């Protein structure tokens, strides 16, 4: 998965230091095991939020499965699945409560008031091309 140049998770940095994305692009990108596990959990949540798992649970599909993320071999355990479920439940509940359209892994055009946008849309992950 290609990481966004202006990712929501780093928004506080790049909204306060506009030169940060350009500087970061000059540094070799390295991933640690916790980030790789997070990427794997992200993939699980995406499957659930997009409705890709039909008539199968996360446990049935993922539990005990070994996946390669970056340079790590990761075996999916119940804690990872529980993290994915908690996140998905939260996102779906918020979408329902706000009566909003859930955008999952969609490219979106960022508004001028980016700080307000990020506070409102934490679950949107904007990938640059």
Q: pTM for the full model?
A: 0.70
C-alpha–C-alpha distance, residues 80 and 54, integer Å: 20
Q: Is the pLDDT of residue 29 over 90?
A: no
Residue 22 falls within a domain, yes or no? no
For 61-84, the DSSP string reads HHTT-EEEETTEEEE--HHHHHHH
Q: Is the pLDDT of residue 94 over 80?
A: yes
Which residues does 11 contact at the CB level (< 8 Å), separation at least 6?
114, 115, 118
Domain enclosing residue 75, as ranges: 8-16+31-120
Number of domains in the chain: 1
**Of residues 49, 62, 58, 129, the one with CA closest to residue 95:** 49
Give residue for tokens 């790789």: 36
What are 2-26's pLDDT values in tens digits? 556 677 667 777 778 878 888 888 8
C-alpha–C-alpha distance, residues 26 and 129, integer Å: 17
């Amino acid at each position: 998965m290609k990481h966004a140049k202006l990712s929501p998770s780093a928004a506080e940095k790049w909204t306060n230091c506009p030169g940060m994305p350009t500087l970061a692009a000059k540094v070799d990108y390295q991933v640690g095991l916790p980030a790789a596990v997070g990427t794997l959990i992200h993939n699980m949540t995406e499957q659930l939020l997009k409705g890709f798992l039909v008539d199968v649970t996360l446990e049935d599909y993922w539990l005990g499965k070994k996946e390669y993320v970056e340079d790590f071999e990761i075996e999916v355990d119940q804690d990872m699945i529980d993290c994915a479920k908690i996140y998905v439940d939260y996102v779906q509940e918020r979408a329902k409560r706000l009566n909003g359209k859930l955008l999952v892994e969609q490219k979106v055009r960022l508004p001028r008031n980016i700080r307000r946008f990020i506070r409102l849309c934490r679950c949107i992950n904007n990938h640059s091309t």
